[in-house]
Structures are given as structure tokens and as C-alpha cells.
Homo-oligomer: A and B are copies of this chain.
Amino acid sequence: MERKMTDPCMLNVAEMIRQIQRRKLSPVILMESLLKRIDLLELSLQAWVTIDRQRLFQEARCCQEEILKGKIRGPLHGIPIGVKDIFYTSGMKTTGGSKIFENFIPNYDATVVARLKGAGAIVLGKTATTEFAFGDPAPTRNPWNREHTPGGSSSGSAAAVATGMCPAALGSQTGGSVLRPAAYCGIVGFKPTYGRISRYGVFPLSWTLDHVGFLTRSVEDAAILFGILSGQDPADPNTSLEPVPDFKGSLKSSRKPPRIGIVREFYRENSEEQVWKHTAETLNKLKRAGGEVREVKMPASFSAVQDVHRIIMRVEAAAFHEKLFERHRGQYRPKIRELVEIGLLIPGVDYLRAQKIKRLFRREMDKVMEQYDCLLTPATSSAPPKGLSSTGDPWFQVPWSLSGLPSISIPTGLNGEGLPLGIQLVGEAYAEGKLFAAARWCEKALNVHLSPNPN
């Protein structure tokens, strides 16, 4: 028997599931390990807004007792998960990163939170978010270098998962808010097809662009959460009735090298030199492993994507915030305030034109995707930028938040300064299984494992 065991806090979700259900790991020990990790790092990283320690030990003990009685609530039994502070949690503060809601305690759970709990998971706590999931930074720092941003808006979720404070966390993406912080922190970020996961009980930013996503340390973990959280929800009329693919089957099919489309247009000219060089090296590794790589011809509508995204986000954010903004203008921080102020002025015809181009782009991308298992781009235009006044740019995620195609980022290495870089893979609509298979294949082919040493 191996003597030295990995500290439980550093296990992936898949491994936690195995060890807990085989009674090799107690939920109480796991909880202690995670809270110890949080004690060690939270002061300098500031990933969390709310952690209710007393309740956590109670819940972990309860899970442990159930296991001893042979009772397993669901696949995530006893596994603590971080929840971005824009998801409603019944009886637990939900601030949306805003002063206005600093004492707001919802009396119901967001659908995804309810599904997590239903699967046996424990809500470890609420992770820091930018204000209303837009651009005004959370206090969170990047675990690879505290003077750099962890990205946003799912800042706390990214930093917490990267450092073993929790194995996985919920995030949300309207522009680049799941995959960018994941890439900046060296972990996996995933968002599904638009309409695949319910946004009921989540502070909206822009409802035709908002996606719920997750931050994990492996593709397999993202697939596990997808299996639990996806599917139609009557409470969110935008969720789709499309059947959810079998994620286990899809991971097994990950032995076949994928047909990868590299997107050079826009991404080449907007990537820092080191980023593009690193991406080219990564592509070479994937080719050597057998990946079939071709350059993608992007459709005409691609050139309008950033502008169209901005118009839709501004108008819908303004529509949601309008009344609140009238009463609490002074409590809005500058970036979200400007978003709402400009959004209030944009004519409806501009909004409708933007929505029309959005639909066109999706239709054109649906056709492009017929030829590939996934598209590949650098995950971000640069490594995590220095400074905490900005959370970086969302440009590289925007086309997929706009089109609603599923996307996943995986870490691919460190730059010269020891900061993480990654790639973003984009899949066909409603075919998340195929995307997970491609991402798992790349993950294995690249065999990069990043873990910051933030002590």
C-alpha cells in the first residue's frame, strides 16, 4: 500500500466520487482538508464571499453518517462545490457582487444549485464575482501571481478551484466570464450550448447571452457536472428540449483523434506574440499525436461579432437594471454603471439588428461546424494581465457566447513569467459529448498539469 496519500483537497471530482463511494474517503475528512486549504490561502487570494463553517461540518457529518447507513443521495454525495455569488442559494447570502444586495438572502435555490444539492453535493460557499457579473473587479487575486488578475467575472470560482479550495465551482459567462478566468488560473472552464443549463435563480446580465458554466481541474469533471446540471427547466423558458448527450460514453470515445479547425482570423491579430507562438506549439503537439488540423474559413458575419455582442449586452443589461439603477445609481461601480447608462440610450432598431446578425452568425457557424469535431483558438489574448483594476478582455470568448456554441478551455502551459496559457475548443451546438471527447483527447495528448504554489 502506498503510504503517502494525496491531500484530499487536491483530488478531482471524479476521484472524490470514487473514494467516497468506496468509503476510502470520509466527507468529514474531505471538508476538513478543504477548509484547511481555505484557511491557508483565503487571506491572500480572497476567493470567497460567504463560508458558513458550522453548517459545513454538520452537512459533512450528515453525509458521512448516511454513507455508513448505505445511503448515497446522488453522484456528488458529500462533495463540496463552490458557487459563484450570483446564484441564488436558499437561506444563504447572495450579493451578486453588489453593495445593493449585500444583505440579500434568497428564499429559494437557483435551479442548478437545487440540482447540485439533489445530487448530494454540499455548497461549500459563495465565490467572489465582479459586480453583477460584469467588469468591476472582485478583490480576488491570481494564485499564480498575486499582482495579476484572476480574470472575471467568475474570479473567486477560478482562484478557488485552481488552488484546491474546492474541486469545482459554478460560474457564468455572458462575454468571457468562465473560460477566461479558468485559463488565467490554469484550470478547465466549460460553458454549454445556449439553452442547455437553466439560468433560473441567477442574476441576469444579458439573458440572450448568459450561460451557466463550470470551473474544474479536468475535462472529465466538467463532463460529470454537465451530466448533472444540464437539461430542460420549465422555470427558464430559454432552456431547450434537445436531449442531453451521454457524457460517459463521449469520454470513452475520446481515443479517436479529433478533426480540429484552427481559427486564425481575428485571433491571430489579437493575440500577443507569445500567445500565438505557444498556440502554434500546442497545435504541433496535437498534430504529432494524430490530430487532424485544418484552418477554418470563418463566415462573413464573424467580423460583426464583437459589436453585435456589445449592443445586445448593453440593452439587455440596461433593461434588467433600469429600475434598480434609478433608485441606487450611487451604489453602482463605474463599469456596470456605464454599461447601463449607455444601454438605456440605444435605439430598439439597433438591438433588433444586432439580434438578427446574432441569429445569422449562429446559422453560419452551424454549417461550419459540420466539418469539424471542434474549433481551436488561444483561450485568451494574453496571459493574465498585471494589475487588479481590470479582469482582462473577453474578446476570445465573445463569438461563442454570442453564437451559443459550447466551448471549453484547457491549460496548455506557462509563459516565461510562469503564468498560465491555454486553448479554447468550440463544439457543435447540442453536441457537448463530442466536445468533451475532443477536449479529453487534447488533454491526454498534451499531458499538461498545472498547479500553482501559492503558499
- Which A residues lie at the B interface, using CB under 8 A? 315-316, 318-319, 322, 343-353
Check if A322 sits within 8 Å of B346, measured CB to CB. no
CB distance from A70 to the nearest CB of B (A): 45
Q: How far is the CA of A416 from the CA of B74 in the complex (A)?
A: 75
Q: Which of A348, A349, A351 has the most CB of B within 10 A?
A: A348
Check if A316 sits within 8 Å of B347, measured CB to CB. no
- A349: chain B residues within 8 A (beta carbon): 315, 318-319, 322, 343-344
Q: How far is the CA of A315 from the CA of B350 in the complex (A)?
A: 10
Q: How far is the CA of A347 from the CA of B351 in the complex (A)?
A: 9
Q: How far is the CA of A316 from the CA of B315 in the complex (A)?
A: 16
- A322: chain B residues within 8 A (beta carbon): 349, 353
Which residue on B lies nearest to A345, using beta carbons? B347
CB distance from A379 to the nearest CB of B (A): 31
Q: Which of A346, A349, A352 has the most CB of B within 10 A?
A: A349
Q: How far is the CA of A318 from the CA of B347 in the complex (A)?
A: 10
Q: Select A353's contact among B319, B343, B345, beta carbons within 8 Å.
A: B319
Which residue on B lies nearest to A343, using beta carbons? B349
CB distance from A406 to the nearest CB of B (A): 21
- A319: chain B residues within 8 A (beta carbon): 348-349, 352-353
Q: How far is the CA of A352 from the CA of B319 in the complex (A)?
A: 7
Check if A315 sits within 8 Å of B352, measured CB to CB. yes
Q: How far is the CA of A23 from the CA of B331 in the complex (A)?
A: 80
Q: Can you report 20 residue pairs joining A to B where beta carbons are below 8 Å apart?
A: A315-B348, A315-B349, A316-B352, A318-B349, A319-B348, A319-B352, A319-B353, A322-B349, A322-B353, A343-B348, A343-B349, A344-B347, A345-B347, A346-B348, A347-B347, A348-B348, A348-B350, A348-B352, A351-B351, A351-B352
- A348: chain B residues within 8 A (beta carbon): 315, 318-319, 343, 346-348, 350-352
Which residue on B lies nearest to A359, using beta carbons? B237
Q: How far is the CA of A316 from the CA of B355 in the complex (A)?
A: 12
